[in-house]
Structure 1
Amino acid sequence: MTITIDDIEFKELLESIRFIYGYDFTEYAELSVKRRIVHFMKNRDIYALDKLGKMLLKDEHLFEEFVQELSVTVTEMFRDPTFYKSIRERVVKRLATYPVLRIWIAGCATGQEIYSIAILLKEENLLDRSIIYATDINQKSLKIAREGVYPLGSMKLYTSNYMEAGGKRAFSEYYIAKYNSVLFDKSLRENVVFSPHNLVADKSFNEFQFIICRNVLMYFNQDLQNRVVNLFHESLCSFGFLGLGDKESLLFADKKDCFEETDKKEKIFMKMK
């Protein structure tokens, strides 16, 4: 059965969610949100948007699953290996000049990016004096990230990515395999602060030397992208770095002239003013 989403009902649903739960999806890219809602409805044999709305506003557990669907959770360790290689070659030397290094991974999803950065910092002798703030809107994803348990079947890809990213050790040294899962070493998350944070509504909460937010802005409309870039600009120290996804840019951001390209291809920028 085909599901058609009426524009008025769609906007009413998002406004109701914002009013009842405080989650604001009204400035997410509309086509992406509609596609995810349709997928969510089909998987649960719900074929009317008004029925979905009533169910979401009554059932908090269902709503958590709905947020999981709308949140960006597609990730892997050392995804786009050349991005991490560029961090080693172009960013690490300056980061090493700070006595305490604060890194914000915004939209950390299920945590693979956290452990990738932690491993890189460990190999560059920076992890012990780093604090990694890992935030996401999705509480279920944060729980997975805290636990650091991932499918054993993913390790072949993760190992390949790690080696391409300039890894210096055997990747298997960082985890213990048991049954069909692996548990990453607890030392990698000892300096990680896991916390919910909503890029749409929440403010800056610290000053950082490096902010990584990859493949998140692409799901926002242009106005929201601009506001989030302003948030990152406010949160970065002078000469701090910002890392974005390969399909994202600062081209239309108000603060674009405040940044200089550190690596144009890998979308790494330095705050200059």
Structure 2
Amino acid sequence: MNNNRPKDHNELEEIEINLLLEGIFRYYGFDFRNYTFPFLNRRIWNRMREEKIASISGLQEKIFHDPFVMNRLLDDFSINVTEMFRDPSFFLSFRKKIVPFLRDSPYIRIWHAGCSTGEEVYSMAILLHEEGLYEKTRIYATDMNESVLRVGKEGKFPLHKMQLYTKNYLASGGKKAFSEYYKVQNENASFHSFLTKNVVFAQHNLVTDRSFNEFHVIICRNVMIYFDKVLQNRVYNLLHESLGLSGILGLGSKEGIKFTSIADDYEEVDTFEKLYRRIQ
């Protein structure tokens, strides 16, 4: 039996990627080892093209000796596809089905996990403001990537996106003129500071960090789809630990807890919009 047979290209590529991810975890502390392979493969090859590096092993050497390359790869791995009132029907359902439940609470803690550049955080702040709940709410907006958190704190978004965001806002049940919430500065829309006075932006890695509070609402949308089943279960358990009894969990349209280890601990509030209430 020949144990020295050459590896085919795909097998070698997978070995190189696994070594790269293990090295990143050991040296930088970021754990991408259970992200889905197609997602990682696309992002790694994109970074290699940008850096003009011919092999994955060459990229590994580069990131260990140039932290700026690591930062760029971290940006590649960050999930930054977002917009204000993304999937307006989710926010409309939240307004109609969750807000009445929250009115009786003396205070409200909300965690936006994997908040990216913060558009959904501002969306939630606007919704709660219009429903008279914002003053008693503290929103924790977290992401593993500090650079996207800085964008969120600044609250400036490209002006050309406001047409789409206005359309989303109105479809989500918005009650005012969306333009009341920002002022125009050159090519940007700068959102009013009162929308972040009750927001804490902080770095938190869903993969490696632990629970840090107990929440009435956790929003973690369009994040799990990039994780394999092992990591999904781990993160679902983290969110479960962080959610109080009768708390609300909001997921993305392509996500769900049906086949997870914590499925029996929840009841569906809105099946289509993936809103759940913890019952045990």
* TM-score range relative to shorter protein: over 0.9
Partner in structure 2 of residue 264 of structure 1: 271
2:224 aligned with 1:217: yes
2:135 aligned with 1:145: no
Extract structure 1 runs of 4+ deviating beyond 4 A.
none
Please tell me whether Structure 1 or Structure 2 has the larger radius of gyration of its CA atoms. Answer: 2
Query: Could you give the per-residue CA deviations for residues 145-200 of structure 1, whole angstroms, max 9, x where no partner exists?
Result: 01001000000000000000000000000001111111101000011111110101
> Which residues of structure 1 form unaligned runs of 5+?
none
Could you tell me the percent identity over the aligned residues?
Answer: 46
Q: Is the 8 A contact 1:162 1:171 kept in 2?
A: yes
Rounded Cα–Cα distance in structure 2 between residues aligned with 1:195 and 1:205: 11
* Superposed counterparts of 1:81-96, under 5 Å: 81-96=88-103
Q: Is the 8 A contact 1:5 1:49 kept in 2?
A: no
Partner in structure 1 of residue 7 of structure 2: none
TM-score normalised to the size of structure 2? 0.95
Deviation at 1:97, TM superposition (A): 1.2
Deviation at 1:40, TM superposition (A): 1.6
2:36 aligned with 1:29: yes
2:209 aligned with 1:196: no
Q: Which secondary structure does the structure 1 equivalent of 2:254 belong to? A: coil
* Superposed counterparts of 1:95-114, under 5 Å: 95-114=102-121
The one-letter code of the counterpart of 2:259 is F
> Which residues of structure 2 form unaligned runs of 5+?
1-9
Partner in structure 2 of residue 120 of structure 1: 127
2:60 aligned with 1:41: no
Query: Could you give the per-residue CA deviations for residues 184-243 of structure 1, whole angstroms, max 9, x where no partner exists?
Result: 010000111111101011111000000000000110000110111111111111110000
Q: CA RMSD in A?
A: 1.3
Q: Which secondary structure does the structure 2 equivalent of 1:177 belong to? A: strand
Rounded Cα–Cα distance in structure 2 between residues aligned with 1:121 and 1:192: 12
The one-letter code of the counterpart of 2:77 is L
2:180 aligned with 1:173: yes
TM-score normalised to the size of structure 1? 0.97
Rounded Cα–Cα distance in structure 2 between residues aligned with 1:184 and 1:112: 10
Deviation at 1:4, TM superposition (A): 9.8
When structure 1 is superposed on structure 2, of 39-48 and 29-38 the one drifting more is 39-48
Deviation at 1:5, TM superposition (A): 6.7
Q: Which secondary structure does the structure 2 equivalent of 1:6 belong to? A: helix
Q: Is the 8 A contact 1:137 1:197 kept in 2?
A: yes
